Structure 1
Amino acid sequence: MGSKRLLVPAAVVGTLLLAGCSAETNAQWKRLGLPEGASDRTEAVRSLWIGAWIAALVVGVMVWGLILYAVVRYRRRNEEAPRQTRYNLPLEVLYTLAPFAIIGVLFFYTVENGNRITAMSDSPQHTINVVGQQWQWTFNYHETVNGEEGVWETGTLDQPAELWLPVNESVHFDLTSPDVIHSFWVPSFYFKLDVIPGRTNKLELTPTKTGTFAGKCAELCGLYHSRMVFTVKVVTADEYQAHLRDLADRGQTGAATGGQDATTIPGHGEGEK
């Protein structure tokens, strides 16, 4: 009787909590914590993420069920020792094959979706060199603007950088660093990649929604790591080109110094390309 009395208030509280959630929060619950996607890599990452949770839940339910079954079925009833079973071949085969089957399925879908996430095209519409340095970001746009080759913009601790991207147009990113390891992460793009000194890491994606999105460094990179943030503005193609012309009018042409030195490890000469 006591447990039944507790169930009613618990159900009421749970209903009120769910009813109090906003539509945005409810949608995020359906995505299992993922933010709303804004790039063409969204579906592959979401599929892998939700699929892994479903697999984990299925395995968890099976394990919990077996534990509860063993607790109830073989609970101690008297002082006599229970009948001992030395071997149980079917169970041993199950315990051996089941993990291999689970790992095999997860491996297959990880590779399949991983290939979709990291896919590159032969001719992306735009190329941007992203430079992560202590402790801000520099963006070198490889575009011809007002007859000049390339424009750039950078940020400071007090004024974080802005990265402008055209919606529905593919963008290739070259990630470089002149100092320590950073990590380029835009949560809404469902993509994160390390920025390593002496090495150029690459990624490609297509923004699919206009708007302003948060970006950050996801690798502990020193004293002001927490302030190494930036803003991504996904705009129309015309607005994107207008922004590049504005950068050129300010004299921010060519490539920023960080971009030129970012493939060299300080103190070690030329780095690995």
Structure 2
Amino acid sequence: MRLPTTAATRRSRVGIGLALTAVVLSLGGCGLAGAQGKLSNGYLPEGATEGADRVRSLWIGSWIAALAVGALVWGLMLWCAVAYKRKADDPPLPVQLKYNVPLEIVYTVIPIFMVLTLFYFTDRDEKALTDTKATPDYVINVVGKQWSFDFNYTTSDAHEAGTQAQLTGKPGVEETLPTLYIPVGKRVEFQLVANDVIHSFWVPAFLQKLDMIPGRVNTFQVVPTREGTFAGKCAELCGAYHSEMLFNLKVVSVADYDKHIAELKASGNGGLLPMTNLREGIIPQDQDKVSTGGN
């Protein structure tokens, strides 16, 4: 036999629900407190390029719009629950309506308008971030492979072949990773391709990434705004050691960049690895000649 729900029982359930909500919000707050970034920038990493501000604005704007819609929907739900709460003298079923044309128009037109607005701003920013019409100061070809990256400093006629990271769990592993150098304040074009499976070139501080696809050249440009060392990784599941496909990216002064290029040439890394001439999308057919960097 089902026991009737008393007012005390209902209050108890409400109290438990509020307590669980408080716990969840507290745990979420702890996670956000430890996240990289601040509430003012949407808890994103601090950007290191000119395009990062555009990404951040789109991200924060999308969240504001989503929260506003959520607040409106939740508010209407609560209002309906309170305003139309069933009373003791109400009939078993409320008045049934076949349709309400004005209301149906509203909840059809408004979502379409919201989607179109989000699409417009996303498309606008995506086109700006992937625009490569400007003439770059430096061109760097990055080749993804299982499980590392090769760097061709096309403009500077030097290269560096990466090897798979050895994650020992001990300090100093970062110093052994392949390291890509780019000069601060200069427009750098990345020409991305893969020589085996699909990879993805991702530097979180750029706030953007791009896939690396065999037989296809994907390009994007950045203008780094501050010096520093930033983590890079593959963001596309590409096999058993995907988690070890890591690299460093150093944004340095032009003088330090030139010094690094001179060191590469002095150590025998002058010239370029195969799969160059990527500005025009030309990819050599003899894929077996692509350097594997010791893998």
**TM-score, length-normalised on structure 2?**
0.77
1:186 and 2:206 aligned: no
- The residue number in structure 1 matching 2:144 is 132
Note if contact 1:41-1:117 (Cα within 8 Å) is conserved in structure 2. yes
State the Cα deviation string for residues 90-136 of structure 1 (Å, max 9, x = none).
21110111011101211111122112211224321000000000110
Helix, strand or coil at the partner of 1:77: coil
TM-superposed deviation, 1:192: 0.3
Give the AA of the match of 1:178. N
Structure 1 residues 267 and 240 mapped into 2: Cα distance closer, same or farther (>3 Å)?
A: closer
Aligned match of 2:158: 151
Alignment partner of 1:102 is 2:114? yes
**Kept in 1: contact 2:199–2:238 (CA 8 A):** yes
User: Is 1:263 matched up with 2:283?
Assistant: yes
TM-score normalised to structure 1 length: 0.83
Q: For 1:33 and 1:92, how far apart are their aligned partners in 2?
A: 37
- CA–CA separation in structure 2 for the residues paired with 1:263 and 1:160: 27
Please tell me the residue identity of whatever aligns with 2:72. Answer: M
2-structure distance, mates of 1:131, 1:267:
12
Number of residues of Structure 1 aligned to a counterpart in Structure 2 = 253
Q: What letter is aligned with 1:77?
A: K
Residues 275 and 284, structure 2, Cα contact 8 Å, conserved in 1: no
Q: Using a 3 Å threshold, how does the CA distance of structure 1 residues 131 and 41 change in structure 2: closer, same or farther?
A: same
- Superposition deviation, residue 219 in structure 1: 0.2
The reply to whether residue 163 of structure 1 matches residue 176 of structure 2 is no
SS of match in other structure, 2:257: helix
| Correspondences of 1:1-273 after superposition (within 5 Å) | 27-78=37-88, 80-144=92-156, 150-157=157-164, 158=166, 159-257=176-274, 263=283
Question: Structure 2 CA distance, aligned partners of 1:93 and 1:200?
Answer: 46
Structure 2 spans left out of the alignment, 5+ residues: 1-10, 167-175, 289-295
Report SS of the residue matched to 2:85. Answer: coil
Q: Report Cα offsets for 1:37-66 as digits up to 9, x if no partner.
A: 000111111111111101111111111112
Asked if 2 retains the 8 angstrom alpha-carbon contact of 1:198 and 1:265, the reply is no
Question: What is the DSSP-based 3-state SS (H/G/I as helix, E as strand, rest coil) of the residue aligned with 2:58?
Answer: helix
Q: Measure the CA separation in 2 of the matches of 1:124 and 1:65.
A: 51
Conserved 8 A contact 1:182-1:221: yes
Moved over 4 A (4+): 257-262, 264-268
